[in-house]
């Protein structure tokens, strides 16, 4: 069995979080992960308060109100203020944040009794947020899908661990027991996985999206969006190749570029549109090859991690 | 003065000349992103031996300097 302080902090069996993926991480997926012994997280994405409240209720219903779960607040969302309020009003047990600095909401969330865990992609952000009363730091390397920073998980995790006394949860590039064991060796006390859970039976993302993840190889993803200052990792599809070309084309304005990508994530996740969709995925997609229930995934990952961590001793002479 | 200190830290961070940074210089012009900004503010904290709460976004170096001054006041 693998137990870390993160398990006690959140009240979960395995120190694993399911990342808040826009258009994908709904109440159903979050509940499946929480029922499987991890921490399921609902993505508040760019949606409004009503949407989030609905998904929170769904997760509560599906877990019988007995399991903790989280909500991810995307700080760049136009509805950030109202969904931040909903998370507090609904007394969501864990609140994670992405795409920015959550400082202005932290006091309200702590008052609501939530454990707050911001996602960081640099050492300075980890330092800054560690003293705001948050419970843990999620450090995400650029191997992950969606919005990404430059640093890799391998480089980021030990440096973040060096500047904070809080538990660190490693994210980006982890999909199996080997990744979990490696993250622990770097100093993390928990992991957050996104791409692997795309293949969960309880994940309601469009069939085409799932199939693309299952078929992906090690070189299937790329990052685009650097020109607009928001690099994003996704599968290399004809649309993404065309977009990447457009980024280098100075005759195309930033506004045109922005318009080209608008709404493409919804098209991928909801419509399964292989032509115009953006299929966000981590580099690890090449290792996600089978559909399973979320509970089976978690069990398999930690059984494997346990064997590896015990075996690590063999090299110490 | 915070602005001067800030300009020195930025110049060192980007490998430029502090004299070329004015209060109206934007972070975008300097090619500095939000993560760079946080790192520089943390550096400033160390040098001034204070803790600053960083909220919101700042477009120009002057804006950030003014914000920090108000926090120190």
Mean pLDDT over the full length of chain A: 95
- CA–CA dist A177, A56 (Å, integer): 29
Provide the residue ranges of all domains of chain A, joining segments of one domain with +: 5-204, 221-280
User: Chains A and B: how many Cβ contacts under 8 Å?
Assistant: 31
Cβ neighbours of A28 (radius 10 Å): 18
ipTM of the complex: 0.74
Provide the residue ranges of all domains of chain B, joining segments of one domain with +: 2-72
Summarize pLDDT for A127-142 with one digit per residue, the tens.
Answer: 999 998 999 999 999 9
Asked whether the beta carbons of residue B39 and residue A122 sit closer than 8 angstroms, the reply is yes
Structural domain A5-204, CATH architecture: Alpha-Beta Barrel (3.20)
B34 touches chain A (CB under 8 A): yes
What distance in Å separates residue B50's CA from the closest CA in chain A? 12
- CA–CA dist B58, A96 (Å, integer): 24
A-chain CB neighbours of B27 within 8 Å are none
Summarize pLDDT for A5-51 with one digit per residue, the tens.
Answer: 999 999 999 999 999 999 999 999 999 999 999 999 999 998 999 99
- Residue A299: closest CA among A40, A2, A11: A2
What distance in Å separates residue A102's CA from the closest CA in chain B? 8
Burial class (CB in 10 A: 0-12, 13-18, 19+), B3: middle
Q: What was the pLDDT predicted at A202?
A: 97
- CA–CA dist A26, A44 (Å, integer): 9
pLDDT at residue A293 above 70? yes
Mutate which of A122, A127, A132 to test chain B, going by most B C-beta atoms within 10 A? Answer: A122
In the 8-state DSSP scheme, what is residue A189? Answer: S
> pTM for this structure?
0.91
B-chain CB neighbours of A162 within 8 Å are none
Tell me the residue ranges of DSSP E strands in A87-157.
94-98, 115-120, 137-140, 146-147
Among the partner-chain residues B35, B51, B56, the one whose CB lies closest to the CB of A131 is B51
pLDDT at residue B73 above 80? no
DSSP letter string, A195-248: HHHHTBTT--S-HHHHHHHHH--TT-EEEE-GGGT--EEEE--HHHHHHHHHHT
Pick the CATH number of B2-72 from 3.40.50.300, 1.10.760.10, 3.30.70.240, 1.10.1200.10: 1.10.1200.10
A-chain CB neighbours of B71 within 8 Å are none
Summarize pLDDT for B43-71 with one digit per residue, the tens.
Answer: 888 888 878 777 667 888 888 888 888 87
């Amino acid at each position: 069995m693998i137990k870390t302080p993160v398990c006690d902090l959140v009240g979960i069996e395995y120190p694993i979080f399911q990342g808040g993926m826009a258009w994908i991480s709904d109440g159903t997926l979050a509940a499946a992960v929480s029922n499987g012994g991890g921490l399921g997280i609902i993505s508040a994405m760019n949606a409004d308060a009503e949407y989030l409240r609905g998904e929170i209720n769904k997760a509560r219903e599906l877990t019988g109100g007995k399991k903790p779960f989280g909500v991810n607040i995307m700080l760049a969302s136009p509805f950030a203020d109202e969904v931040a309020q909903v998370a507090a009003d609904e007394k969501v047990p864990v609140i994670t944040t992405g795409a920015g600095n959550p400082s202005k909401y932290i006091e309200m969330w702590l008052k609501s009794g939530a454990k707050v865990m911001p996602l960081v992609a640099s050492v300075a952000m980890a330092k800054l947020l560690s003293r705001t009363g948050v419970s843990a730091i999620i450090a995400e390397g650029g191997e992950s899908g969606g919005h990404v920073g430059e640093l890799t998980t391998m480089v980021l995790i030990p440096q973040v661990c060096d500047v904070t006394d809080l538990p660190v949860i490693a994210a980006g590039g982890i999909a199996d027991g080997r990744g979990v064991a490696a993250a622990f060796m770097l100093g993390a006390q928990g992991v957050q996985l996104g791409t692997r859970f795309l293949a969960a039976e309880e994940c309601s993302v469009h069939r085409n999206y799932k199939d693309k993840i299952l078929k992906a190889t090690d070189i299937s993803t790329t990052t685009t969006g650097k020109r607009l200052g928001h690099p994003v990792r996704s599968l290399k599809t004809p649309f993404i190749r065309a977009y990447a070309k457009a980024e280098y084309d100075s005759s195309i304005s930033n506004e045109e570029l922005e318009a080209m990508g608008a709404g493409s994530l919804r098209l991928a996740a909801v419509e399964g549109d292989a032509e115009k969709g953006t299929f966000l995925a981590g580099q690890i997609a090449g290792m996600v090859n089978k559909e399973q229930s979320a509970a089976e995934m978690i069990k398999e990952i930690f059984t494997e991690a346990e064997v590896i961590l015990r075996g690590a001793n063999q090299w110490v002479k | 003065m915070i602005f001067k200190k800030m300009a020195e830290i930025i110049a060192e961070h980007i490998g430029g000349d502090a004299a070329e940074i004015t209060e109206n210089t934007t972070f975008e012009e300097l090619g500095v992103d939000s993560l760079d900004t946080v790192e520089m503010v943390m550096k400033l904290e160390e040098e001034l031996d204070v803790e600053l709460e960083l909220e919101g976004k700042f477009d120009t170096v002057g804006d950030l300097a003014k914000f920090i001054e108000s926090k120190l006041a």
